[in-house]
Amino acid sequence: MAEENAIIRTQDLTKAYGSKVAVNHLNLDIKKGEIFGLLGPNGAGKTTTILMLLGLTEPTLGSAMIAGYDCTRDSMRVKRITGYLPDNVGFYADMTGRENLRFTARLNGVPEKEIDSRIDELLERVGMTWAGDQKTGTYSKGMRQRLGIADVLIKDPEVIIMDEPTLGLDPEGMREFLQLIKQLSIQDGRTVLVSSHQLYQIQQICDRVGIFVDGALAASGRIGDLGKQIASEGHYLLEVEAEPTDDRFLGFLSSLSGIRDISKEGDHFIISSSRDLRTEITAFLGTNHYTLLHLRQKGGDLDEIYRVYFEKAEEKEKEDRNARLGSGRHGKGRVRGSAEK
């Protein structure tokens, strides 16, 4: 639908290291001006994808484009309009914050006359004016991240790519940092691609997310849409607590149809099912003189979405593996298990 104004686009982007496929036929469309969250566990291929977008590593297959420039062949132009905040950003420890920024500005060919005023402005913006003349070796993690934002902005990029930017920040620093990222998109109209495995934090600021598992995109879209999608596919997760918690109640729960799994977490039962069970459970509790203490339908939040897609991708992989193995020793049981869904 947004084919026309996609600023970052990958087509069948694939990267293999030997026989290990780090990124597998990734098709990504990121619209101009949005914040896109690339979410996935460690080792899912997020950093590799980013490296390919910046032309720092060559794709095995497929292509990536930023603003119409091919990321591999035209990487200089791409790097001129793209700011990159790497995971665990580092600065030259013997130079002050200002000197570090000045160096980046010169690398990008910012005119000498403009450099100082731009540095002042950016330091102010990230709230680092007070530390601009300190050596960066003395900076804390949070300060380095802020300076990193200033460093990215000094070239006035259209696209900003951040790799795990919130890692290691304290809650307060995290909140302010996310605010800063949000501003980049809303005030400046820049496109932001954030990769992370910290779902809750990123959820707050992303327009759209892509769930990235084992090198492939398991799902992408608005968070709300993803939640609905899961529900419509029959993934429900219910938290129930009732008094008394006896075997009869548990027996009733396991007798319900469509139950996939029941587990106990503290005093709650966590029931995973393929349909909405709330009416039946409340009816049962009411007629049998139980006291309902807690009932909550989970889902719709990122953690849940993530869990479901992650499980789905894992199951799919197992299926693939079993299909490859044919009728292997353990093959049948697993295929049947996942086919029940």
- Kindly list the residues in this chain that would bind another protein in the complex (CB under 8 A): 47, 51, 54, 56-57, 76-77, 79-80, 82-84, 86-95, 103-104, 106-109, 148, 151, 155, 163
DSSP classification of residue 73: T
Strands 216-221 and 208-213: antiparallel
Determine if residue 18 is left, alpha or beta; phi over 0 gives left, psi from -120 to 50 gives alpha, anything else beta: left
Closer CB to another protein, 65 or 238, in the complex: 65
Sign of CA dihedral 325, 326, 330, 333: positive
Taking the least distance from each CB to another protein, the nearer of 105 and 211 is 105
Q: Which DSSP category does 134 fall into?
A: S
Of the pair 109, 171, the CB lying nearest another protein is at 109
Cα gap 156→310, rounded to integer Å: 36
- Torsion sign over Cα 155, 159, 164, 165: positive
Least distance (Å) between residue 116 CB and another protein: 15
Would you call 68 helix, strand, or coil by DSSP?
Answer: coil
Task: For another protein, give the closer residue by CB, 94 or 121.
Answer: 94
Is the separation of the CB atoms in 132 and 98 below 8 Å? yes
Least Å distance, CB 340 to another protein, is 41
Nearest distance, CB of residue 165 and another protein, angstroms = 12
In the complex, least distance from residue 6 CB atom to another protein, rounded to whole angstroms = 22
- CB 40 → another protein: shortest distance, Å? 16
Output 110 or 242, the one with its CB closest to another protein. Answer: 110
